[in-house]
Amino acid sequence: MNSLSRRKLLAAATGSGAVVLTGCLSDSDDKRPSGADENASGPNSENAADPDDENASDLDSEDTADPDDETVSETDDENQYRDEWSGDCPEYDTERTICYDAVAPEEVRGILEPSARTVDAGESISFALQNKSDSTLSTNPYDWRLDKYVEGEWYRIEPVGKRNPVLLVQPAEEHEWTVRIDNDGIEDGTPVDRSSGHSDLTVHGLGGGRYAFRGRGWFDEDTDFAATFEVDDDPIKLTPTDEIEDTQWDDDTLVATTSRGDSDGDVHRSRMFELEQVSDPSESATLIVEQVIRRDRLRDALALVREYDTKRVRLEAYPEQSLTPSVHTDQIYEFQGSYYEISTWELE
């Protein structure tokens, strides 16, 4: 499909309708909400045209093909389309991204429109997923996403998991997410609550900088609708949580006891979480402050390493409290130019 034909396909008339919520709720992190069409055509589906098939034709094209001209495959066309409309938004795991700043509203069937381009901590910003077509737009209102841009890379901040209902946005209707930024108490040691919800969202621990909000929907294929915005605030300072009860030295290792878990339980084995600074690892995962403060043990260990100017910190807690699932044993992280290896185990 050439660019002209694709834009004609996307420019559809608006109509009237209602917003309908259907489907069931679950804690699954499935990327496609229940009710989505698994057989929708796309460049990776069985129904997509084979670019190597000499008999394949672009039925939507109004141009007469010259048999002597070199042809562009449908896969190449999809990639060109994605590059054209993704703009400065992150790369997601669907085939199509429509970024607010990269499109003209009249040229797309749906768009995510921000209420502002800059927001202060303590205030709110809204994002309206608008159906500008004459077809139903399906979405999962829990499947929103927030990323931050730091030194040329995008980092996912929220959320971790989601539910899976289906929201039907009828022509000329919209679904709106309102995000309130709350940083109160974090630098004083308050743990950061993870965010969830389908409409009114409170997100904790966002320092100043550039962010992208994304909602996902589909007409005939999955599409990420995204918009960027700025948070006007100071950077978040990395401090330990107020769950650190005591610290003491064991040779060159700082040992910190936390209040997590149940010290009065029948099982009195302590679970240890150790972080050690290392040099030149072969592989590592980079984290930013907004990610670290959402992982209490990692936050405590990194903050204490810096506060006490040591290379090794060990946290001891009780086994009733499980480790954050996203922190893996023997994982190596890069944080602000230094590398840290994490190990966890239980003590008798």
Nearest of 96, 174, 182, 100 to residue 141 by alpha carbon: 174
Mean pLDDT of the chain: 76
pLDDT digits (tens, 9 = 90+) for 8-52: 333 333 333 334 444 433 333 333 333 333 333 333 333 333 323
pLDDT digits (tens, 9 = 90+) for 307-326: 999 999 999 876 544 444 44
Lowest mean pLDDT among 115-124, 185-194, 257-266: 257-266
**Strands of the 110-114 sheet, one edge to the other:** 110-114, 124-131, 174-182, 200-204
Find the mean pLDDT for residues 244-267.
81
**What whole-number distance in Å separates Cα of residue 87 and Cα of residue 78?**
15
CB of 108 closer than 8 Å to CB of 10 = yes
Nearest of 125, 103, 220 to residue 182 by alpha carbon: 125
How many residues comprise the chain? 348
CB of 137 closer than 8 Å to CB of 214 = no
**What whole-number distance in Å separates Cα of residue 341 and Cα of residue 284?**
9
What pLDDT is recorded for position 221?
Answer: 85
**What whole-number distance in Å separates Cα of residue 186 and Cα of residue 293?**
9
pLDDT digits (tens, 9 = 90+) for 177-186: 999 999 999 9
Give all domains of the chain, ordered by start, each with its CATH number.
Answer: 3-232 (2.60.40.2550), 244-346 (no CATH)
pLDDT digits (tens, 9 = 90+) for 113-132: 999 999 999 999 999 999 99
**What whole-number distance in Å separates Cα of residue 290 and Cα of residue 99?**
23
What sections of the chain are H helices per DSSP? Answer: 3-10, 74-86, 289-292, 296-307
Cis peptide before 159 (omega within 30 of 0): yes
CB of 214 closer than 8 Å to CB of 89 = yes
Nearest of 7, 217, 19 to residue 112 by alpha carbon: 217
pLDDT digits (tens, 9 = 90+) for 66-120: 333 333 333 344 344 344 577 899 999 888 999 999 999 889 999 999 999 999 9
User: Rounded to 5 degrees, what angle do the CA atoms 59, 65, 70 make?
Assistant: 115
